[in-house]
Amino acid sequence: MSTEARTIQGEHPADARERILGALGQYWGYDELRPHQEAAINASLDGRDSLVVLPTGGGKSLCFQIPAALRTGADIVVSPLISLMQDQVEALRTCGYPAVALNSAASPAQNARAEEQIRAGEASLIYAAPERLLSMRTLSLLDGAHINAIVVDEAHCISHWGHDFRPEYRRLTELRRRFPSATWHAFTATATQRVRDDIAHQLGLRDPEILVGDCDRPNLTYRVAPRTSARDQVLEAIRRHDGHAAIVYCISRKDTERTAEWLKGKGVNAAPYHAGLSAERRARVQRDFMAEKLSVVVATVAFGMGVDRSDVRCVVHMAMPKSIEHYQQEAGRAGRDGLPAECVLLYSSYDPEKWRQLMMRSAQETGQDELPEHQLELLDHMRSFCARMKCRHQALAEYFDQSLDSENCGACDVCLGENQAADDAPVIAQKIISCVARLDGRFGAAHVADVLLGSTKERIRTLGHDTLSVHGILAGTPSPVLRSYIDQLIDAGALQRIGEEYPLLQLTDDSLAFLRTEREVSLLTPKAAARAKAPRASESASWEGVDEQLFDRLRTLRREIAEQRGVPAYIVFGDQVLRDLARVRPADRSQMLEVKGIGPRKLEEFGEAFLGCINGANA
């Protein structure tokens, strides 16, 4: 509302910096800012709109939490993640930071208390779900609150391009009339240029400061593999992170239940999570996961947003997501604490078709009889990401118009050399291309694969394709591997897919050159047994000097404290703090305050208990 509410505009930069660092230490116990944080904070303090794109775990929250804490009045944070809002606010309050949340997940008593604090001017930051925010009751409450800034978190939700669009986000601009002098700040982790433009346009940002960080997540190791035996592959991945948090994404609700059940049978502490479960059951899964009583959540991709923990060490996709944006968001939930984590994507070349059918069905439900072109385009980018044997970090960076410095990322299946080149690639390519030629380009990839594998299913026999000379010439090749070869040939330009509904596999102008082996081709498959057992350098580095037994004891203590208080474990301390504590073994409170991530408030609350645990261990 009134601009006097801002107290910092025109302040000398050095003074502003000191106050920013002061807040950073006071609430979070950190001593330096990350790239772009200072510029983002200053944009807000200077009263300028901003659009900030930082990867998950890049530290977006501090960019809006700090300015709000440094001035009188309050800022509003709009977030779609209602289920997580309460936890975020709880985490802030544990640091002594004055924040409140207004949303349907909070009890009426909690909401009433939040309203009281807003009226009393005791909240610097007000988190609200979009619907709640736009209600008359909330708006009139906020009228008296000196709103300096409106922060739109997960701002990509306002865009149709590759994201789960939320119609209520479009209504946010109604707030402009209500709070004409407030500045606007959009935050997101994933945004191509197109999405960025869309966000700025939809929110009507005025000459915004645009800050785009490096989108790469170097702490993540990406692995993409053909889905051969899905459940075993999932089990193998989560066993590499035994006892740690993992999320498994499935396309259907049924799959989440079956997979969770199967995993439980294998001794994994797992539970399903999807929109069809009762609110009560979902809340319990969420609570148990947060409290570290549950390690693995098997969720539908459509609904996985509610499960989040910063120490997720592994995210597995049992099938391909429908866009790279979705993949980036979902896989991005791994390693938000910056520590090494792994993302495994199991892929079958049938996945794009399955998505196409699902998307078609939902389009028809809304009366459309065609899929928007851009949806198919996004799907195809995702397909190609899976099928191509190109550095995964590099491929993701390129999709977001960036590029990686190093040739070898050392953190994906391709760069780690976990795939092997088929010795006889030229011959395999010849056989596949011949089969496509023999079938006159009138069949899809699945049928071509069936012929090559020597299938005798009815359709093959009826068409007489079991008598073709190409029938069975690649018999014995695992079917997903063959489908991956076909994808790789498409990617190399040796074949093409034509048509949308039932895409046909056809020759290209270059097919002949491949057939005559004038053009080189390499075909990769995952190495069977040699699944990277050796941890990455950064994985072992992050454990260097850490007394792992002490770490486990500290973890148990953290879980007990969290349980007593009924809060998620990470709110007490993150894994990074626990590792540091188990590395430096502080002897007293002042040494403990040196550890990054421990501020005065947390020292007071938890110092005694953790020092006791550490020094008991020293003795």
Residues that bind Zn ion (CB under 5 A): 391, 393, 409, 412, 415
Q: Which CB, 25 or 478, lies closer to ligand ADP?
A: 25
444 near ligand ADP, rule: CB under 6 A: no
Q: How many residues bind ligand ADP (CB under 6 A)?
A: 17
30 near ligand ADP, rule: CB under 6 A: yes
Region near ligand ADP per CB under 6 A, out of 28-36, 74-82, 368-376, 402-410: 28-36
Q: Which listed residue (67, 340, 352, 574) binds ligand ADP by CB under 6 A? A: 574
CB of 63 to ligand ADP, least distance (A): 8
Looking only at residues 108 through 147 of this chain, which bind ligand ADP when binding is defined by CB under 6 A?
Answer: none
Q: Which CB, 31 or 122, lies closer to ligand ADP?
A: 31
Q: Which CB, 55 or 586, lies closer to ligand ADP?
A: 55
- Picked from Zn ion, ligand ADP, none, the partner binding residue 250 (CB below 5 to 8 A depending on kind) is none
Rounded to whole angstroms, the Cα distance separating 354 from 451 reads 22
CB of 222 to Zn ion, least distance (A): 7
Q: Which CB, 81 or 521, lies closer to ligand ADP?
A: 81
Q: Where are the beta strands (DSSP E) in 327-456?
A: 341-347, 419-421
Looking only at residues 285 through 314 of this chain, which bind ligand ADP when binding is defined by CB under 6 A?
Answer: 310
Q: Which listed residue (8, 27, 57, 479) binds ligand ADP by CB under 6 A? A: 57
Cα–Cα separations (whole angstroms), residue 267 to 235, 262, 488:
10, 9, 37
1-19 burial, b at 16+ Cβ within 10 Å, e below that, comes to beeebbebeebeeeebeeb
Question: Quick check: helix, strand or coil at residue 178?
Answer: helix
336 near ligand ADP, rule: CB under 6 A: yes
Q: Which listed residue (59, 121, 493, 503) binds ligand ADP by CB under 6 A? A: 59
393 near ligand ADP, rule: CB under 6 A: no
Q: What is the largest CA-CA distance in the chain?
A: 85
Rounded to whole angstroms, the Cα distance separating 91 from 571 reads 5
Q: Which CB, 289 or 385, lies closer to Zn ion?
A: 385
CB of 337 to ligand ADP, least distance (A): 6
Rounded to whole angstroms, the Cα distance separating 557 from 563 reads 10
Selection from 1, 168, 23, 180 nearest residue 74 by Cα: 1
Region near ligand ADP per CB under 6 A, out of 49-57, 70-78, 109-117, 123-131: 49-57
CB of 338 to ligand ADP, least distance (A): 6
Packed helices 600-618 and 548-565: angle between N→C axes, nearest 10 degrees: 130
* Helical segments of 120-182, H only: 130-133, 136-143, 167-170, 174-178
- According to DSSP, the residues that pair with 211 across neighbouring strands are 52
Selection from 500, 506, 486, 452 nearest residue 353 by Cα: 500
- Picked from Zn ion, ligand ADP, none, the partner binding residue 480 (CB below 5 to 8 A depending on kind) is none
- Picked from Zn ion, ligand ADP, none, the partner binding residue 415 (CB below 5 to 8 A depending on kind) is Zn ion
- φ/ψ of 535, rounded to 5, equals -70, 155
Count of beta carbons in the 10 Å neighbourhood of residue 390:
15
CB of 333 to ligand ADP, least distance (A): 9
Sheet holding 312-317, edge to edge: 220-226, 341-347, 312-317, 245-250, 296-300, 270-273
Query: Which residues form the interface with ligand ADP (CB under 6 A)?
Result: 28, 30, 33-34, 37, 54, 56-62, 310, 336-337, 574
